[in-house]
Chain A
C-alpha cells in the first residue's frame, strides 16, 4: 500500500525567509502524481503545486518550488519569501495514475506552518 509521511508536525518561519517542508512516500508504482495542498485556518484547501513522477524537472509556481527525488521517494516543498498568508496546514499527497482513470488521493498527516512577522 502507498503511504505518505510528513515528519515535521509543525514548522515556523520568519516573514520574507525561506522554509522547506519535507515529505517522503512509499510506492512500488512508477506512474503517479504528487501534490502539495494548503489548508489555511477555517478556509478552503487549495492546490499549491503538482509534480508528475515521470518528469525529472522540479515543478515551480511563483514562490513555491519542489525538490523531487524519485529514487529517494522524497518530495519537499520550498517556500521562498514567506508571507503571513502562507500560514496554514500543508498536506503532501500522492495519487497513482491508473492509465488516466481515478485513484485515491493519499494524504500525509500534514505540517502546520506558522509565519512570524
Chain B
C-alpha cells in the first residue's frame, strides 16, 4: 500500500471559520509533510514532522497549525484564513525524511477561502 489519503477533497470556508485538513498513511513512514500549491505553481513546503515531532516550519503564519497525533496521521488546523490562502494543500510522507527518499503525495485538499 503506497497510498496517502487526504480528507476532505474540497473545502470552502469563511474567514472566521475553523476547519481541519486530515492526512493519513499506513506505509510505516516516520516523516510527513504539508505543502501548499497555488494554481500553476510548484508545491511550497510548509511543515515537516519527523517521528511525530515538528522539525521544519517554513515561517508559516500562525493561522495554520499542524498536528501529528501519531505516526500515521497528520492534521492541519485552519483558523481565520485569508482569501490568499486559497490553494491546493498537499500532504506527503517518506520513510524517515532522508534526502534520497521518495516522497509519496496525497491527492490534496482544494481549499477556497471566501
Chain A residues close to B by CB (< 8 Å) = 32-33, 42-47, 50, 52, 91, 95-98, 100-105, 107-110
Contacts and interface: CB of A to CB of B under 8 A. Distances in A.
B90 A45 contact: yes
A45 B31 contact: no
B43 interface: yes
Contacts of B55: 102
Contact of A102 (B31, B40, B92, B105): B31
A50 B100 contact: yes
Contacts, number: 56
A100 B41 contact: no
Given A91-B43, A110-B42, 8 more contacts: A33-B99, A44-B4, A44-B107, A45-B92, A50-B102, A95-B100, A100-B98, A105-B45
A28 to B, nearest CB: 16
A44 B25 CA distance: 14
B7 interface: no
Contacts of B102: 47, 50
A109 B42 contact: yes
B97 A46 contact: no
